[in-house]
Amino acid sequence: MKIQLLYGTETGNAEMLCEDIETHLADDHEVALANLNDIDPADLDADTFHLVVCSTYGDGDLPASAQPFADTLETAGTDLSAIRFAIFGLGDSSYETYNQGSEKLAALLVKHGAKQVGDRAIHDAMGSDMAEDLALPWADDRIAQAADLFAET
């Protein structure tokens, strides 16, 4: 399966996590990795499964590297109805706006027609889990779900 890993980040944690996921998946899949900053919503590909990792900044806001993508999507009104994605959020539960960045990005993608595969998963920087210990099984699980969906079409 073709996988596009996309990250929205402020200080690099989401990028590092995506690099770990890329290494984990590389033997079995064709994997590409990109910063949302470098992606136009119109470039997303219907034959590719998108795994999105996004942090939260400011007051429950998208991180800086995801904001231009979100702005372009809203302005252009791109139809994403052929696009499938899963999303993993990075946040910190000491903030009242815990993990709202990934929540906002998921809602925006769905609003423009994209199909979300599985529930959003989240990591808490205040918790005891390492992000990769949650994100690698998350990626495997969502890819298995997506494989069934891609096989049906």
Minimum CB distance to ligand FMN, residue 104 (Å): 11
Question: Residues 7, 10, 14, 15: what is their CA dihedral angle, to the nearest 10 degrees?
Answer: 70
Minimum CB distance to ligand FMN, residue 86 (Å): 17
Question: Which spans of this chain sit near ligand FMN (rule: CB under 6 A)?
Answer: 9-14, 55-60, 63, 90-92, 95, 97-99, 125
Rounded to whole angstroms, what are the CA distances from 18 to 40, 96, 150, 151? 19, 26, 22, 25
Quote the tokens at residue 65.
């590297």
- CB nearer ligand FMN, residue 13 or residue 145: 13
- CB nearer ligand FMN, residue 77 or residue 127: 127
In one letter, which amino acid is 35? N
CA 18 from chain centre, in angstroms, equals 9
- CB nearer ligand FMN, residue 13 or residue 72: 13
Q: Are 122 and 99 in contact (CB under 8 A)?
A: yes
- CB nearer ligand FMN, residue 39 or residue 146: 39
Minimum CB distance to ligand FMN, residue 91 (Å): 3
Minimum CB distance to ligand FMN, residue 16 (Å): 8
Minimum CB distance to ligand FMN, residue 72 (Å): 20
In one letter, which amino acid is 5? L
- CB nearer ligand FMN, residue 95 or residue 150: 95
Rounded-to-integer distance, Cα 39 and Cα 66, Å: 9
Q: Output the furthest CA–CA distance in the chain (Å, rounded).
A: 43
**Residue facing ligand FMN at closest CB distance:** 91
